[in-house]
Amino acid sequence: MIKTVKDVQLKGKRIVMRVDFNVPMKDGKVQDDTRIVAAIPTIKYVMEQGAASLVLMSHLGDPKKDMKKAKEKAEKDGKAFDEAKYIAGKHRMAPVAAYLAEKLGKPVVFAGEDSCFGKKAFVEGQPAGTIVMLENTRFHKEETSDDAAERDKLAKELATYGEVFVNDAFGTAHRDHASTASIAKFLPVSVGGFLMEKEVKYLEPMVVNPPKPMVAIIGGAKVSSKIAVLESLLRNASALVIGGGMAYTFLKAQGHTVGKSLVEDDQLDTAKRILAAAAKAKVEIVLPLDHVCSETFDAAAAAKAVDGLDIADGLMGMDVGPKTLAKYKAVLATAKSVVWNGPVGVFEFDNFAKGTGEVAKMVAEATGRGAMTVVGGGDSVAAVNKFGLADKMSHVSTGGGASLELLEGKQLPGIEVCRA
């Protein structure tokens, strides 16, 4: 586990805290406050303990990269592009500070648009108990630099704003950046916040020592993006459910016809290797037994049931059929823990959403029976939210890439600095 804010003395201390306030913005207005709300328990706790000050730091998109893309799109569409307006509307932290203040019911002082450097006197000049928000850390090239010495320049400066470093930004825990990991080198105490603690509490056991039997449901489009997580979960799973677009690569590797379904031909050998490893480890691999197909990849495409493993030419797999769902139910019936990463069909299209919706219900039912259930990965999270079942899971992860890397068994820089 990790050390948390509850393990250290905070009274009278200056705290510098990394949060993940990388929220969608439009014209300087917050469009989705999920990540902001997730950090509030730690922020409140720190202040309730009598911290002298709390300096919050976060990124908000990547100003340079994102603006380049937006500018290219505007030029392509023949539209004028106002750089200052774009940056103000998408990447400035001032509106986020104001939004947080509203949520907390107390002021959050914005440290200014000029820089994250040189704010020590500003922070120390605030009244006791002040919350300060720094500007977007990614306005500085040092934040994400591949050169550790460059990152340290910003990290060392950020470290002067506090005596205790709190990392509650799980969504960026896999990034070795100045404000997520390097800063810990320059402060005597580094701990996790409550969000970080919860993510580690639920995700880490799935890789290290889950309640057994453990069932892993891994979906999504491509095998290539999930190789490491499949191999990692094979060590502890009793069954590995493979769904979504990646299932067709496995079916083709077994010699089945898959029609126009999404297939990564360069990953057929990988699929065979994973199937062989599962057989050796006596882990059941569950692939689709029947399908819901269409002729085109389109929300309005007609759904065509295929009652069998093989898909004819001219059709593409878009979702799983009733036989497959019955098999999923049987496999999940005895599970003591379930990890779900990736949908089993194109759930964004209503005609092909049934499979993923049923999986969400089954995982919720497993939670009700006492199983530990963890949903990780952007699309799976979107799915449980779409079907209104997020509160029926033991844990729904807030980090896409971070969740995946933790399930792959990797050490995440932002977590490692908080280790006891």
Active site residues: 35, 222, 378, 401
Using the structure block, give the residue that is written with the tokens 């709390």. 54
- DSSP E strands in 205-325: the ranges are 214-218, 239-242, 284-286, 291-294, 304-306, 316-320
The rounded Cα 346 to chain-centroid distance in angstroms is 19
Q: Is 341 exposed, middle or buried (0-12, 13-18, 19+ CB in 10 A)?
A: buried
Residues 6+ apart with CB under 8 A from 384: 360, 363, 375, 390, 393, 396
Which helix (H) or strand (E) is 166 found in, with range?
Answer: strand 164-167
Given a contact cutoff of 8 angstroms between Cβ atoms, the answer to whether 84 and 108 are in contact is no
Given a contact cutoff of 8 angstroms between Cβ atoms, the answer to whether 404 and 170 are in contact is no
- CB neighbours (10 Å) of residue 193? 26
| Cα angle: 194, vertex 168, 202; to 5 degrees | 55
- 3-state SS, 26-73, equals ECCEECCCHHHHHHHHHHHHHHHCCCCEEEEECCCCCHHHHHHHHHHH
| Cα angle: 400, vertex 66, 156; to 5 degrees | 75
Pairing label, strands 164-167, 337-341: unpaired
| Residue 99, helix vs strand vs coil | helix
Separation of alpha carbons 358 and 319, rounded Å? 11
| CA dihedral of residues 224, 228, 233, 236 (deg, nearest 10) | 140
